[in-house]
Structure 1
Amino acid sequence: MKIALGGDHAGYQYKEFLKTHLTELGHEFHDFGPHSEDSVDYPDFVHPLATAVEKGEADLGILICGSGNGVAMTANKHAGIRAALCWNEELAQLARSHNNANVLCIPARFVSTAMAKEMMSAFLTTAFEGGRHQNRVSKIACS
């Protein structure tokens, strides 16, 4: 699976941590940045990541910032993105199985790296259930 990674300076260390685990799991990834802990404007990284997921250049995306809110709001401006802010494994599973989320947003200041890893694993291995959920998901986009 090809994963798009991005976020902001508050999520940089978590992003680097998750890259190691993606490699161990055999996934490819594209790191959209940032590439240091220097202060940045997260939309500069989120928009290219969201575009890559929309175009099918990446199967799923993972965004990490301090609260997870800014990256989620930005990604969800894209009609083809369903970004879910999660803070535990169950939410990550439900985001995929019920909402067909294609971008996981992680709040680095509020979860441990261990929890981020568990959420990422759950997100990457949980399939969309379809069925009654597909009808709802089909009504999300405005355009």
Structure 2
Amino acid sequence: MIKKQFIAGVLAASLFGFGGGVMTAQAFDFGSVLKLGGISYLVNQFGGEINTFINKIFSQNEVTTDYATKVVPILSMGTGGYIGAVQVVGPKAQVDKVKAVGQLEFKFSKIARIKGLIPIDNINITNVNRVEGVGVSAVIDFKL
């Protein structure tokens, strides 16, 4: 039953989230749409439980924090697509402002790749502000 609800939610999120625009003549990857919508759905529906689970694992390994934590999606700053999730940590007032983490990726010559993870106050990548005093404590990779 939960699997059916999950699939229905993923389909609804992907259709409502991406179906409003006019499609141009290009290849359409339904799997990518499901993954993007699926990550958004998972974080919105289960972010609290994922956060509690991460905190419990950290506690079992004696790596606790007195700061607030929260799970938010990672947005590609290039495309605006949901590409994963992270747990952010910091003072409660600042953590409450975080709506996502923006990821910027840079290639350094041909020897390294740099991924910047920046806590931001908006899921609209055209109008974001960095949330100061908040860091990333865990990266969550979903297998969809």
TM over 0.5: no
Structure whose residues are more often helix by fraction: 1
Structure whose residues are more often strand by fraction: 2
Larger-gyration structure (1/2) = 2
What TM-score, normalized to structure 2?
A: 0.30
Larger relative contact order (CA 8 Å, sep ≥ 6): 1
What TM-score, normalized to structure 1?
A: 0.30
